[in-house]
Amino acid sequence: MNTIHKKIAIIGGGNMGKALAKGLVAAGTYTASDITLTRRNTRLLEDMAQEGFQVKADNATAVAEADVVVLSILPQQLDAVLDNIAEQVQEQKHLFISIVTGVKVSDIVKRIGKRVEVVRAMPNTAIAIRESMTCISSHEASAENRALVKEIFEAVGETVEIEEELMTSATALCACGIAFFLRSIRAAAQGGTEIGFHASEALRMAAQTAKGAASLLLLNGSHPENEIDKVTSPKGCTIAGLNEMEHHGFSSAMIKGIKLSSGKAEQLYKSE
């Protein structure tokens, strides 16, 4: 399927919607004119309009003019939005991609009242720089539409296909997870400042070190402990620091945070 001729409507021009739009254009898969973003207050999308994106306040009109509809809204907004656009939805024309946390494919199909194909996706905000980790669940969609969604998100990062029952877990690990890793980088930078570096220097050093650590795992296909073993020596400073962090619950805090976020994600959407 040639994605160049597809028109996309991103319903919800918040941070994630804007990041997706920018990422797709940066990848060269779409032009800005192919993509429409909606928001009640379109003044908040003036920067996107200046970059050539279509901007609308009317969701129904945006859907009518699109082939692919991306739902990028809060769970509590979903029912009202679907009720508003349902009349414009055409089963044979539209493909829905939902990045709404905690909402099942069956919830969307039931609310629209038509047998439209829906694929769930959970990217993160690194999509704006084409470095997202996007989890996709699409077992009920056609092979053609599954390929289209995979193509869209592989243009802006890495993808993995998972079972729908794991999508809220993916939210915690990948979407919420980007904030967790950012917080750990901030903490490392603060530590760097305390031991003598200027704040800007410490942040750059911490961020690049984190990037290097992630690249070691991704490029080598290795386990974190294998790489840690290469850095730690008997009675050395690295193992001393690691053990001190573990004494204060470093790994435990990360695990508990991910579990709590996953549980919270499951409770965000309640159909009327």
CATH 1.10.3730.10 range(s) for the chain read 177-266
Q: Residue 137 corresponds to which tokens in the numbers above? A: 């669940």
Domain 3-166 coded CATH 3.40.50.720: yes
Kindly indicate the confidence band of residue 70, based on its pLDDT and cuts at 50, 70 and 90.
very high
The pLDDT assigned to 138 comes to 86
Tens of pLDDT, residue by residue over 196-218, are: 999 999 999 999 999 999 999 99
Residue recorded with tokens 């959970």: 122
Which DSSP string corresponds to 105-116?
HHHHHHHHTS--
Supply φ then ψ for residue 136, to 5 degrees. -125, 135
Closest CA to 114 of 138, 93, 139: 93
Instruction: Report residue 149's pLDDT band, with 50, 70 and 90 as the boundaries.
Output: very high
Tokens found for residue 170: 């993916």
pTM of the full structure: 0.89
Taking alpha carbons only, the member of 43, 34, 44 closest to residue 10 is 34
Cα–Cα dist 96/20, whole Å: 15
Decide: residue 82, CB within 10 A, 0-12 exposed, 13-18 middle, 19+ buried. Answer: buried
Q: What is the pLDDT of residues 188-197, one digit of tens each?
A: 999 999 999 9
Average pLDDT on 74-100 reads: 95
Q: pLDDT tier at 179 (50, 70, 90 boundaries)?
A: very high
The per-residue pLDDT for 167 is 95
Residues of the chain with CATH 3.40.50.720: 3-166
Higher model confidence: residue 62 or residue 2?
Answer: 62
The residue count of the chain comes to 272
Which one of 1.10.3730.10, 1.10.8.60, 3.10.350.10, 1.10.3720.10 gives the CATH number of domain 177-266? 1.10.3730.10
Q: How confident is the model at residue 2 (pLDDT cuts 50, 70, 90)?
A: very low
Average of per-residue pLDDT across 160-187: 96
DSSP letter (8 states) at residue 73: S
Identify whether the C-beta of residue 29 lies closer than 8 Å to the C-beta of residue 6.
no
